[in-house]
Structure 1
Amino acid sequence: VNEPREPEQFLMQAPQGNPLLLSHTLQELLSKDSVQVELIPEKKGLFLKHVEYEVSSKRFKCSVYRRYNDFVVFHEMLLQKFPYRMVPALPPKRMLGADREFIESRRRALKRFINLVARHPPFSEDVLLKLFLSFSGSDVQNKLRELVQGVGDEFMTCRLATQAKDFLPADIQAQFAASRELIRNIYNSFYKLRDRAERIASRAIDNASDLLIFGKELSALGSDTTPLPSWAALNNSTWGTLKQALKGLSVEFALLADKAVQQGKQEENDVVEKLNLFLDLLQSYKDLCERHEKGVLHKHQRALHKYSMMKKQMMSATVQNKEPESVEQLESRIVEQENAILTMELRNYFSLYCLHQETQLIHIYLPLTSHILGAFVNSQIQGHKEMSKVWNELKPKLSCLFVGPSNMPTPPLSPPEGNFFSN
């Protein structure tokens, strides 16, 4: 494993000539690392119990224990160090009275978060990530803060920061607006796809429950010991034979239920989770766009307004022949403000530079769509194939249910196809 490098030594992998352009493939990003986040059964803590996670990195070949608050500090430090990059959001903390479903949902969300971070080009090469995934001491939160303290953000440490404008296309603002609209539309569509996929997986699990109950009711019916009326017993009733057949069917229905659960769980893991991963990434892009507009852009506009007011004060002081000292102080403040504006302009261009690269990253992740669709189709094929096999094995066992008046087997009744849809 290569040692993570400091940001000033690191450039996102790019073709020779223009560091703005990326050349990563989806497979390269996915192979950077695979991080598992598993719940530790015991709740530690003397007074307040809390959930702890085992975080295992394939890249760093180690496992560490982390609490939710460790993730929070790591997230804060990433935002502090990389304000112009896509930092995925964390799931909510809510712990009081948290049920198992919430805890499992949060574990999945933390796993998505750390995998997106571990595969993000600048983050993956930063010492923050290495510390979070490999430090086994008890004070990981302080260690994370120490790494960021006094270092400055990516703009301060990246050697290309002040030259970012030179690499940007002339129509960067128009490109940014178009990309933002496109990704907003993609997000909306994927949000709906995720909801439908959740419903499909949920229906498979509900179907399993219904099949299990159906089989149990057949078994209960076959096990009923209520005596037959005398006239039924005298007329060689087939009920006794039917009961024996019904009694044994619960095994097959339990197997059908098991297959349906497997399909539902597989679609939750392979389809819904991958959709959630991509949605988390898209949401982090939307959050980044808001940070750009409300942060850098807004501060730049305020600085320009302040500069304009100072210039007016300067003109007024000159006209009114104020004391030289006050004029000199005002001139000094104007120079300071000009420097601040220049820095903000450079930050604005660097923010756009990073946004352009993050937009490229989104497009690199887009082929994940085919992975998700392939997983969904394969799950449906496999699920229906396995259930079809059980249904076909069940059918011969029903032959004794179709007995005619003279105890001769008869086929099950079914309406002729032509009459089935007749008016």
Structure 2
Amino acid sequence: MAGELNEGSVPPYYREVYEAIRSKIDERVQVEVFQRLLSRTDLPSAVQGQIAEHVDYTDGFLSKLSLYKALALIALAQQGKQPSPKLLENCIQEFPKPQLGEFKDLQTLRMQPTQESPLTVSQTLGKLLARDTVQVELIPEKKGLFLKHVEYQITSQHFKISVYRRYSDFDVFHELLLQRFAYRMVPALPPKRMLKGVLTSMSERDFIEGRRRALGRFINLVARHPFFSEDELVKTFLTFNGSDVQVKMRDACKKMGDEFMTNTMATLAKEYLPADIQAQFSSSRELIRNIHNSFHKLRDRAEKMAERSKENATDLLMFGRELSTLGSDGSPIPSLASSQSTWGILRQSLKGLSVEFALLADKGAQQGRREEDDVVEKLNLFLDLLQSYRDLCERHEKGVLHEHQRALQKYGMMKRQMMSATVQPKEQVSVEQLESRIVQQENAIQTMELRNYFSLFCLHQETQLIFTYLPITSHILGAFVNSQVQGHQEMGAVWNDLQQKLGCLFGVDEMQSPPLTAK
């Protein structure tokens, strides 16, 4: 029968292709082998995706008839036709022969080692960090026609270029990233403004510096993400030097669409998901939430330690200044022999001690900055990533799943209306319109189901990225310990010098302080 796919209705070439690429231990064809076959057709990736969407898979394999169907669709697509199952039903001639290159090369598709599952993200922390390092520096404040604005110099080591961006550019970039990669971890942006009239000018500078750091963390996480780093949108943000970067980014995003439209795995995601994907998702989400809470507490403690180091530096500086003030006091000393013989010399000695205390204060301030830059900042980077994962989980549940459920409810309502129309005769036009709407809704539901599976597919990959980043814990601990060792060594050296100086000034015996009160 014309258009019917079976063993007898297909050309001998179809059977030869099947025998060449089928599994040696199975009567079926591996999905990976079929993907390699599809890539030999020279068809556009979008058309390849459409063909793959119309082919049935089970447990990562194609049946013989599924392969025949795919070969027929490939051949028809190579003739310039839109691949569709209806095209096969209406085919009244013998199914055409697809162009797959040299037949002798087809067996090599099967002999190639099975590639790692596309669900697996083969990355290490070192590889992720090596993808790029982006510097975000504040440039001198500029004034616009009415308002002053802050501008940043963005320097990418990977692209070896510097560009200038305003916060509004980051804002548009972030918005487009969420549109393009709705199923991936997109870090949040820091707030644009602070409450006016509440903070002092010094606090405003602190706010701007904090925002610069947060923007730096944001762009580095994006530039190191394996699915973002080579995307045209990210390249445009990091390399485009024109004044209309926002327009350029929007145009690039419009041309590409979202990741579901461009990722070759979008329509195949279901086949690679483990059967217990929902259970894995729930357990991973709970574990990562606990990790996030613990790292949040670690960051808070590290911030307090860095703040204490800076406060200690200030106290040491003020302590030295008070000693200097005391030593500079030129008030005459009463003519009491004991006082005049000791206090005059002691007072002169105190004046010179401010140098050592200023040095101690400087070392303490350096310690605080090291703790802030090397420890707190790394903790904040990982916290930003963990928060973006939690945001992604919420988008999955409130976005894709919710829309899918609403579409199913709408479909059920339309089916009930259709049943009512068949029981109670209505105008033919209204029935046909209802049928058309039902078909459209079925297509919408099918697309949403595919998006739901692709969302889970991406979630699984993003979860792997979180665990790939977890060894950053050792980097953080190493930075913390090293900063403490360096700080204590540097300050210890100054304290030792000060101790020796005091011994020379006052004598060793005077340095041995007896108890001043009874214990």
Q: Does the pair score TM above 0.5? A: yes
Larger RCO of the pair (alpha carbons < 8 Å, separation 6+): 1
Aligned residue type for 1:33: D
* Larger Rg belongs to: 2
| Superposed displacement of residue 400, structure 1 | 5.5
The answer to whether the Cα contact below 8 Å between 1:221 and 1:246 also exists between their aligned partners in 2 is yes
Structure 1's unaligned 5+ residue stretches are 1-5, 10-14
Rounded to whole Å, the distance in 1 between the matches of 2:152 and 2:419 is 63
| Superposed displacement of residue 258, structure 1 | 0.3
Equivalent residue in structure 2 for 1:241, among 345, 354, 360: 345
Distance 2:387 2:45 in 1: 25
User: Once structures 1 and 2 are overlaid, which stretch shifts more, 95-104 or 285-294?
Assistant: 95-104
Q: Are 1:319 and 2:423 counterparts? A: yes
The one-letter code of the counterpart of 1:62 is I
**1-structure distance, mates of 2:315, 2:339:** 35
> How much has 1:318 moved relative to structure 2?
1.3
Please report how far the alpha carbon of residue 414 of structure 1 lies from its aligned counterpart in structure 2 after TM superposition: 4.2
State the AA in 1 paired with 2:487.
G
Q: What is residue 145 of structure 1 aligned with on the other side?
A: 250
**Structure 1 residues 316-357: Cα deviation after superposition (integer angstroms, max 9, x where no partner):** 111112233222221221111111111100000000000000
Matched, 1:283 2:387: yes
CA–CA separation in structure 1 for the residues paired with 2:354 and 2:266: 69
Of 76, 81, 90, the match for 2:180 = 81
Q: Residue 513 of structure 2: which of 382, 388, 413 is its match?
A: 413
CA contact (8 A) 2:181 2:259 kept: yes
Give the one of 271, 278, 286 matched to 1:166: 271
* Residue in structure 2 matched with residue 297 of structure 1 by the alignment: 401
C-alpha distance in structure 2 between counterparts of 1:248 and 1:188, whole Å: 49
Q: 1:330 aligns with which of 428, 434, 438?
A: 434
Q: Note the alpha carbon deviations across 1:109-143, whole angstroms, 9 max, x for none.
A: 00000000000011101011111111111000000
SS of corresponding position for 1:161: coil
| TM-score (structure 1 length as normaliser) | 0.91
Structure-1 separation of matches of 2:503 and 2:255: 80
Partners of 2:281 and 2:460 within 8 A in 1:
yes
Aligned to 1:22, the other structure's residue is in SS state coil
**Aligned match of 2:217:** 112
Preserved contact between residue 242 and residue 400 of structure 1 (Cα < 8 Å): no
Instruction: Give identity over the alignment, percent.
Output: 72
How far the C-alpha of 1:399 sits from its partner, in A, is 2.4
SS of equivalent residue, structure 1 residue 63: strand
Deviations 1:194-253 (A, max 9, x none): 0100000000000000000000001111111111112x2476530011112111100000
CA distance in 2 between partners of 1:80 and 1:361 (Å): 20
Partner of 1:101: 206
Match of 2:118 among 2, 19, 43: 19
8 A Cα contact 2:333 2:340, kept in partner = no
Aligned partner of 1:101: which letter? D
Equivalences for residues 171-210 of structure 1 within 5 A? 171-210=276-315
* Structure 2 counterpart of 1:339, from 439, 443, 448: 443
Change (3 A) 1:39 1:112: same
RMSD: 2.1
Question: Is structure 2 residue 273 aligned with structure 1 residue 273?
Answer: no
Amino acid at match of 1:52: E
Paired position in structure 1 for 2:151: 52
Which amino acid is the alignment partner of residue 429 of structure 2?
Answer: E
For residues 288 and 7 of structure 1, what CA distance do their matches in structure 2 show? Answer: 27
- Once the two structures are superposed, residues 270-300 of structure 1 have per-residue CA deviations (whole angstroms, 9 ceiling, x without a partner) of 0000000000000110111111011100000
Letter in 2 for 1:290: E
Residue 139 of structure 2 corresponds to residue 37 of structure 1: no
CA displacement 1:19-38 (0-9 Å, x = unmatched): 00011100000000010000
Q: CA deviation at 1:84?
A: 0.4
Instruction: Tell me which residue corresponds to 1:353.
Output: 457
Label 1:194 to 1:37 Cα distance change in 2 as closer, same or farther (>3 A). Answer: same
Rate the CA distance shift 1:236–1:141 in 2: closer, same or farther, 3 A: closer
Q: Given the superposition, is the C-alpha separation of residues 236 and 229 from structure 1 closer, same or farther in structure 2, using an over 3 Å criterion?
A: closer
Instruction: Check whether the contact 1:245–1:400 (CA below 8 A) recurs between aligned residues.
Output: no
Partner of 1:264: 368
| Cα 1:7/1:93, change in 2 over 3 Å | farther
Gaps of 5+ in 2: 1-43, 49-113
Distance in structure 2 (CA, Å) of the matches to 1:237 and 1:370: 58
Deviation of the 1:42 alpha carbon: 3.0
8 Å Cα contact 2:502-2:511 kept in structure 1: no
